[in-house]
Amino acid sequence: MKVGHATHVGLVRDHNEDALYVGRRLWVVADGMGGHAAGEVASREALAVIARLDSEAPVDRARVVAACEEASSELIRQARRHLGRRGMATTVTGVVAPDASGAWLVFNVGDSRTYRLAGGRLTQVTVDHSEVQALLDRGLLTPEEARSHPMRNIVTQCLGSPLAPNPDVFFVILAPGDRLLLCSDGLSGMVADDVIATLLGRGDDPQATAEALVEAAVAGGGRDNVTVIVIEADAGDASALHPPTSEAEDHGSAA
């Protein structure tokens, strides 16, 4: 796969409370919350725990849940030790490269999102853990109303909360050339989906795409920190990590 990434403090905030992890076969975006510099600490420290998944194989749903629980417990421990970090928390969304099954694993806690661009069509893979999403689910809001709703920043799950996180895990099949986009709400809240789809699909390499997406969020007002990771699948993603079995060779796929 090819990967690009970019982050920007935006035009309003003093510091960037987002964090990102770009690994060998794990990619994660986190959006920290908390007074003073605590949000920065929360997103960074959570990623330090979750990054351990990068050297594990295979990574399954249980390992993702355990890593999120460990990260959340670590934030709670640190918040108890440091007065200024009380209440710090973070959202997270991540992607794990495919195992032998060929499925990419996607997870999220909170409202940082992962999208897929396949065949030119953008779909949101993750479902926000947010008050606004709950209202959408109950048919009480339209997507348009949700974008400007006063409660749009209130998450119903995060790492660092006393409630144990319950991450959602999704499995996604990508064809060569398909892309995944991980982002904080500084992108999804500032840039319309059709613009995201256009920038993601216009043929720039993943790094140029990541920079263009961040520029669009800043140009749109930059009211929040913005962070993106763009991953483009290629033909070797599953087989490079897991050499074909002899059975697969029998079928001629070990070229």
Binding site for Ca ion (CB under 5 A): 31, 184-186, 224
Shortest Å, Cβ 152 to Ca ion: 11
Q: Which is nearer to Ca ion, 46 or 59 (CB)?
A: 46
Distance of closest approach, residue 185 Cβ to Ca ion, in angstroms:
5
Q: Which is nearer to Ca ion, 221 or 243 (CB)?
A: 221
- Which of residues 128 and 224 has its CB atom nearest to Ca ion in the complex? 224
Shortest distance, CB of residue 102 to Ca ion, whole angstroms?
33
Q: Sign of the C-alpha dihedral, residues 164, 93, 132, 103?
A: negative
Beta strands in the chain (DSSP E): 2-8, 18-22, 26-33, 89-96, 103-109, 113-118, 121-124, 168-173, 179-183, 226-232
Kindly tell me which of 174 and 213 has the beta carbon lying closer to Ca ion. Answer: 213
**Rounded to the nearest whole angstrom, what is the least distance from the CB of residue 32 to Ca ion in the complex?**
8
Which uninterrupted H or E stretch holds 221? none
By the 8 A CB rule, do 218 and 186 touch? no
CB 119 within 8 A of CB 164: no
Which two structure tokens, joined as six digits, stand for 3? 């990967």
Question: Helix (H, G, I), strand (E, B), or coil: what is residue 110?
Answer: coil
